[in-house]
Amino acid sequence: MDDAKMTAQMESGKGFIAALDQSGGSTPKALKGYGIEEGAWSGDEEMFGLIHQMRSRIITSPAFSGGKVIGAILFERTMDGEIDGRPVPQVLKARGVVPFIKIDKGLEAEANGVQLMKPMPELDALLARSKALGVFGTKERSVINLANREGIAAIVAQQFEVARQVLAAGLVPIIEPEVNIKSPERAEADRILLDELVKALDALPGDDRVMLKLSIPAEAGLFDPLVEHPRVLRVVALSGGFSRPDACRELAKNRGMIASFSRALLEDLRHQMSDEEFDRALGGAIDEIHRASVEKVPA
């Protein structure tokens, strides 16, 4: 797939984006969910080897292809790795799946009700390497815990500053200012975020376009103006701690939003499964998330 084909798939593909980007801090939790207890490895290299085996099993499953999974977000080590002797981004593209790379390095301590991204001093080098490997875009996450306009404005400003750096490198950024779904001020935080995102999108130079990865809003349909904004290639939703049934039920109420789920995609998969059991469980999850992404219901 060339850039034009990947852009078209992101803009109008009838599917969802798989988030396979658990990084160092969240890897033990991801492995535990997969049935591998902490202590089953000695050192980071073995741990990352196990998570790479898990991701390779997912990516090479017959259930995982561009018919329903239109994109996949990778952790940096996964992007740099290989499956059967081929770079992972090339394996994904051969299966019709557009590759993205998670670029953020974690979160700062909370201030003004939000957690900004930590500095990324080596970002230019990572972007150049990602582009050379055939990656289409990036994903960068920050978190909103309270409906503090100053904090949310700072989150959006930082996200768009990074997005401009990504665009300059020839990649498409997925901007992810996650609203904590457990926040007591979730609905108001959603509304403030919408205001700030529209202002930032209106101010984008030239004909640049970005993608947005957002928590499913407390009020269904709230993000319709973002879905329709000419500078937005696609709006995708994170599961944010919802179970898969709950995440899919809420997502289906939001026109134009597709899934970009991680835990909700992987929650039924176990290391001990036979290949047949694994493929059946993954296929069932993919079917459920695909339906919520493409078959919408009244709010």
For residues 125, 127, 265, 229, the Cα torsion angle rounded to the nearest 10 degrees is 150
Q: Please tell me which residue in 102, 139, 140, 176 is annotated as part of the active site.
A: 176
Distances (CA, A) of 230 to 5, 40, 53, 72, 246: 19, 49, 39, 23, 30
Query: What is the predicted pLDDT for the residue at 66?
Result: 79
Rounded Cα distance between 274 and 280, Å, is 10
219 part of the active site = no
Query: What is the predicted pLDDT for the residue at 24?
Result: 60
Query: What domains does the chain contain, in order, with CATH numbers?
Result: 3-294 (3.20.20.70)
Series of mean pLDDT values for 10-residue runs along the chain (299 residues) = 94 96 78 90 90 94 92 94 96 97 96 97 97 98 98 98 97 98 97 98 94 97 97 96 95 97 92 97 97 94
182 part of the active site = no
Whether the predicted model's global pTM rises above the 0.75 cut: yes
Do residues 188 and 146 touch, judged by C-beta distance below 8 A?
Answer: no
Do residues 63 and 286 touch, judged by C-beta distance below 8 A?
Answer: yes
- Those residues whose C-beta lies under 8 Å from the C-beta of residue 234, and which sit 6 or more positions away, are 10, 11, 211, 212, 258
Tokens of 245: 């049934």
Query: What is the predicted pLDDT for the residue at 205?
Result: 87
Q: Please tell me which residue in 93, 178, 213, 288 is annotated as part of the active site.
A: 213
